[in-house]
Amino acid sequence: MEQSILTEIKNAAKKSLKARHNELADTHRQMDILNGDLFADGELPYFKDKIAQTGQFPLKPKKLEILQINVGYMCNQVCEHCHVDAGPDRKEIMTRETMEQCLEVIRNTGAHTLDLTGGAPEMNPDFRWFVEEASKAGIQDFIVRSNLTIILANKKYHDLPDFFKKHNVHVVSSMPHYTRNKTDKQRGDGVFDKSIQALQALNKVGYGMPDSDLRLDLVYNPSGAFLPGDQTALEHDFKKALKEDFDIDFHNLFAITNLPISRFLDYLLASDNYEDYMYSLVEAFNPSAVANVMCTNTISVSWDGWLYDCDFNQMLDLKVASKVKHIKDYNEEVLNDRNIVISQHCYGCTAGAGSSCQGTVA
């Protein structure tokens, strides 16, 4: 039964939820589900009530460390569990004008990490210009989140490994599994082989090598309605398999929990796993993970310049609870005085060892 549902989802997922006019393309509908009977009837506690029990509500930011900028939702892939609902049919792209506003913030921010994401950020027509300009700002850690296959998608992207190297970019790449079947199941047919070729190309220019300063990290997220295993053990398995089978090296593996939003929420509902998954998240709640969730040290900027506490809130259109809501009005001091906007999806970041764009947090 579940296999037939997964096949239907896979066939449908050749387009984004938005292009399919799926009801979950409406963030209000997603919020209705997240605030629905499971929580409204008291079966499970609201996230705000759960963290209040440990004296952690309201959730407040700490020192800003990471400025995460989404330069557009366009992507060459349409992955099953994508929380961005990215794909080739998404036309939301950051303009150079908004990039200029971001650059002004980057030059003056107290953050030590700049994290560019998408979609496939490389598909933004001003991506290279933005990287060149941003790299002059002296940011300590300059991350680009790449899906790997973009490197092989078109001739104009083939030199990305050299471009990344020139600007000392820290490459963080999605890799659902070290086997073909599990990767292609989540990301599409042929993605595994292209990802392997891309990793080999990055290794060739020095990325991921044991003594190299050219950082190459991988991101793992589960392929179904379950929580990730131990990050250290997963990293060991990935390193062993990729080295033995393909002579690939990388530095670290980040294990990320799938949050119940967007396409993963669509999968949970279609496969009748939503309630069980929410129970799993709530039962795995770890109060020590709350203190270090990424929204406490990150500001997320959308393609059109709006500010959010994290990338997941951005996809639910939950803007920061501050009078400063757009990059053009950016004021770090004012933003640091806000309360962080939370909802039931936040259980995904506090389950087990916790989860963030940088992996586990507890």
The per-residue pLDDT for range 208-225, each reduced to its tens digit, is 999 999 999 999 999 899
Tokens of 3: 């296999």
Residue 147 placed within a domain:
yes
Give me the pLDDT at residue 267, please: 96
Q: To the nearest whole percent, how much of the chain has pLDDT over 70?
A: 94
- What are the percentages of helix, strand and coil residues in the chain, rounded to 5? 45, 15, 45
Average pLDDT over residues 109-129: 97
Give residue 3's pLDDT band: very low, low, confident or very high (50, 70, 90): low
pLDDT at 1 over 50: no
Residue 361 placed within a domain:
no
Q: Which residue has the higher pLDDT, 291 or 30?
A: 30
Tokens of 217: 């990290």
DSSP state at residue 94: -
Question: What stretches of 19-121 show up as alpha helix (H) in DSSP?
Answer: 27-34, 37-40, 47-52, 96-108
Average pLDDT over residues 118-133: 98
Task: Calculate the CA 217 to chain-centre distance.
Answer: 14
Give residue 354's pLDDT band: very low, low, confident or very high (50, 70, 90): confident
Residue 355 placed within a domain:
no
CA neighbor of 38 nearest in space, from 204, 260, 235 = 260
The residue range of the domain holding 164 is: 3-349
Give me the pLDDT at residue 130, please: 97
Q: What is the pTM of this model?
A: 0.94
Answer for the pair 324, 318: CB distance below 8 angstroms, yes or no. Answer: no
Average pLDDT over residues 303-328: 98
Answer for the pair 274, 340: CB distance below 8 angstroms, yes or no. Answer: no
Q: Residue 253: left if φ>0, alpha if ψ -120 to 50, beta else—which one? A: beta
Give residue 195's pLDDT band: very low, low, confident or very high (50, 70, 90): very high
pLDDT at 86 over 50: yes
Average pLDDT over residues 25-53: 98
Give me the pLDDT at residue 13, please: 53
Residue 360 placed within a domain:
no
Residue 329 placed within a domain:
yes
Q: Residue 55: left if φ>0, alpha if ψ -120 to 50, beta else—which one? A: left
Residue 53 placed within a domain:
yes
Phi and psi at 285, nearest 5°, equal -50, 130
Give me the pLDDT at residue 70, please: 98
Residue 359 placed within a domain:
no
Residue 302 placed within a domain:
yes
E strand spans, 191-339: 216-220, 253-255, 298-301, 307-308
- CB within 8 A of 158, min separation 6: which ones? 151, 152
pLDDT at 173 over 70: yes
CATH code, domain carrying 326: 3.20.20
Beta carbons within 10 angstroms of residue 140's beta carbon: 10
Number of structural domains (the chain) is 1
